[in-house]
Amino acid sequence: MHRYLHYIDGRDAAPESQAWFDTHNPFTGEPWAEIAQGTAADADLAVQAAHRAFTSGAWPQLTATQRGELLRRVGDLIAREARRLAEIEVRDNGKLAEMRGQLNYIPQWFYYFGGLADKIEGRVIPLDKKGYFNFTLHEPLGVVAAITPWNSPLLLTAWKIAPALAAGCTVVIKPSEFTSASTLEFARLFEEAGFPPGVVNVVTGFGRDVGSALVEHPLVRKITLTGADSTGRSINEAAARHFKHVSLELGGKSPNIVFADANLDDAVNGAVAGIFAATGQTCIAGSRLLLLQDSIHDVFVERLLTLARSARMGDPMSADTQVGPITTRPQYEKVLSYIDTARNEGARLLLGGSAGTLPECGGGWFVEPTIFGEVDNGMRIAQEEVFGPVLSIIRFKDEEDALRIANDVRFGLGSGVWTADIGRAFRVSERLQAGTVWVNAYRAVSFMSPFGGYKDSGLGRENGAQAIHESLQTKSVWINTGAASANPFVMR
Ligand code: NAD
């Protein structure tokens, strides 16, 4: 089996513990590589390297334009390696179509933020005081720790590190223990592009060991996490003790609302894409389908079931597969246990509900596309994130009722609205408590548009021009151009 080491200061580095853990292929359930099991000592080496690279050597000497050139060059290398990187990701997380699409798109993050690197401009402030010239500088925070999940490892790494590097920070990446390999391969491309050693580092291992050591490390100035809300809470508490900056992209329980005036074919497609694409393992999964009572409910559900039944489960490496395995064994068990919970709560099982046992499911961790009807929004299946191919259908009476149900949840990440009424589209978009609203669409994202959560779905925004400011701090510079000296004991 291939053995993956940490990547620190431009070199492979064996774990201080000399311990390794297996990474598994979810299609077969078999291990395929060994990953270095990091400790606080490894995290410290990586942070020290990142701090050295931030404070001395070539990186801080580069102009912003030169930093941008490096980012664009790494974008080209990612484009060159997209196919190979996608295949490594799929060996770990079982989502080929999703990973191929993502890898082809990831270079854009490096082109876009590379282009922004030399457009970070301060302001001259016309003060209310004579005799001073005042302006602002935006300076990089320092070492950024990027902690990522298993569902879209490299896409979410790109969201974090492209703006951080454009801002002039250095990074230590801690990938999910379930999907470390692709990040280690990815990091080498920065070396090939010409980034100085120590600007991009990767330490693998578990959250409780490496993740928390990064969060507690005094030289880390910012932590950016995509992960579960429970992880976000504990990181936020630890970061607060050290006054560190945080960006948290956490879970969701997103409503996908279909009004009776919608184009039903499009809405059926959108409902299926919202929950079954990527086997429901996305933070923005449209896991609560809200349907207008009676007028369209039965006909919509019938069409939805027909389309969902046609989903082909199978080998994630095959281009024909539409629904692949669940990435990790614990997640597979969690999804099945939520299906039991929903049954016990009285939701009506309309489709699926079992582990996938077809021969084309290999020996892997499959769950059938599952749909529950007659779900009450108070049930756990409607309130908690399942992170799997499980859809809850909830009836509503009118627009007001739809908004009440949609917002009656502690998360606020994505949301969908299907309607032909432009007035309703605006009204509902304004009142949905979610970081993203899609109207007659679902699951579109871009490097150019801000992404993040309301409520328990997180803090801060990734993507879009403003994202670069999450890696910067503002300095106000006052030049005395002839201010009259006054009483030194009184504030001027
Ligand atoms: P997770 O929270 O278990 O792990 C995420 C990362 O955090 C991993 O690298 C893990 O090792 C690390 N970690 C865990 N505990 C830690 C600790 N105490 N200190 C520091 N690091 C720690 O999440 P997961 O199971 O890998 O991913 C699924 C979750 O991610 C879901 O809740 C999903 O909604 C969320 N997610 C959110 C977005 C978004 O953009 N909002 C996108 C994808 C996934």
Quick one: 325 and 357 in the same domain? yes
Each residue of 188-221: pLDDT tens digit?
Answer: 999 999 999 999 999 999 999 999 999 999 999 9
Quick one: 151 and 38 in the same domain? yes
Each residue of 296-313: pLDDT tens digit?
Answer: 999 999 999 999 999 999
CA distances from 470 to 204, 223, 224, 312 (A): 24, 11, 10, 41
DSSP 155: H
Quick one: 268 and 244 in the same domain? no
> CB–CB of 305/351 below 8 Å?
yes
For ligand 1, atom 43: residue with the closest CA: 283
Ligand 1 atom nearest residue 147's Cα: 9
Q: What percent of the chain has pLDDT over 70?
A: 99
Domain housing 165: 2-250+457-476
SS3 121: coil
Quick one: 320 and 208 in the same domain? no
> CB–CB of 49/38 below 8 Å?
no
Domain assignment of residue 303, yes or no: yes
Query: Is residue 253 classed exposed, middle or buried when 0-12, 13-18 and 19+ CB atoms within 10 A define those classes?
Result: buried
Domain assignment of residue 446, yes or no: no
Q: For the residues 391-415, what does the mean pLDDT come to?
A: 98
User: Is the Cβ atom of 315 under 6 angstroms away from ligand 1?
Assistant: no
pTM beyond cutoff 0.85? yes
In Å, how far from its chain's centre is CA 407? 22
Domain assignment of residue 487, yes or no: no
Quick one: 227 and 92 in the same domain? yes
Domain assignment of residue 482, yes or no: no
Quick one: 358 and 377 in the same domain? yes
Quick one: 335 and 435 in the same domain? yes
User: Is the Cβ atom of 249 under 6 angstroms away from ligand 1?
Assistant: yes
Domain assignment of residue 488, yes or no: no
Cβ–Cβ contacts within 10 Å for residue 75, how many?
Answer: 23
Domain assignment of residue 452, yes or no: no
Rounded Cα distance between 419 and 439, Å, is 8
Asked whether the predicted pLDDT for residue 362 surpasses 80, the reply is no
Quick one: 337 and 267 in the same domain? yes
Domain of 215, CATH number, reads 3.40.605.10
Quick one: 102 and 237 in the same domain? yes
Ligand 1 site-directed mutation target among 92, 98, 155, 176, most atoms within 8 Å of CB: 176
Domain assignment of residue 445, yes or no: no
Ligand 1 atom nearest residue 223's Cα: 20
Rounded Cα distance between 177 and 261, Å, is 46
Ligand 1 site-directed mutation target among 184, 283, 413, most atoms within 8 Å of CB: 283
Beta strand 416-418 with 255-258: parallel, antiparallel or unpaired? parallel
283 catalytic residue (yes or no)? yes
DSSP of 262-331: S-HHHHHHHHHHHHHGGGG-STT---EEEEETTTTHHHHHHHHHHHHHTPPB--TTSTT-SB---SSHHH
In Å, how far from its chain's centre is CA 5? 24
Each residue of 133-170: pLDDT tens digit?
Answer: 999 999 999 999 999 999 999 999 999 999 999 999 99
Beta strand 170-174 with 143-147: parallel, antiparallel or unpaired? parallel
Quick one: 157 and 132 in the same domain? yes
Domain of 329, CATH number, reads 3.40.309.10
Q: For the residues 461-488, what does the mean pLDDT come to?
A: 93
Q: What percent of the chain has pLDDT over 90?
A: 89
Quick one: 331 and 466 in the same domain? no
Domain assignment of residue 59, yes or no: yes
Ligand 1 atom nearest residue 152's Cα: 43
CA of 452 from ligand 1 middle (Å) equals 14
Rounded Cα distance between 369 and 391, Å, is 8
User: Is the Cβ atom of 174 under 6 angstroms away from ligand 1?
Assistant: yes
SS3 220: strand
Provide CB contacts within 8 A for 207, sequence distance 6+: 147, 174, 177, 231
249 catalytic residue (yes or no)? yes
b/e for 88-110, b at 16 or more Cβ within 10 A?
bbbbbbbbbbbbbbbbebbbbbb
Catalytic residue among 283, 361, 368, 385: 283
User: Is the Cβ atom of 277 under 6 angstroms away from ligand 1?
Assistant: no
Confidence of residue 388 (pLDDT cuts 50, 70, 90): very high
Quick one: 202 and 270 in the same domain? no
Catalytic residue among 249, 368, 385, 462: 249
> CB–CB of 115/450 below 8 Å?
no
Q: What pLDDT was estimated at residue 209?
A: 98
For ligand 1, atom 31: residue with the closest CA: 228
Domain count, the chain: 2
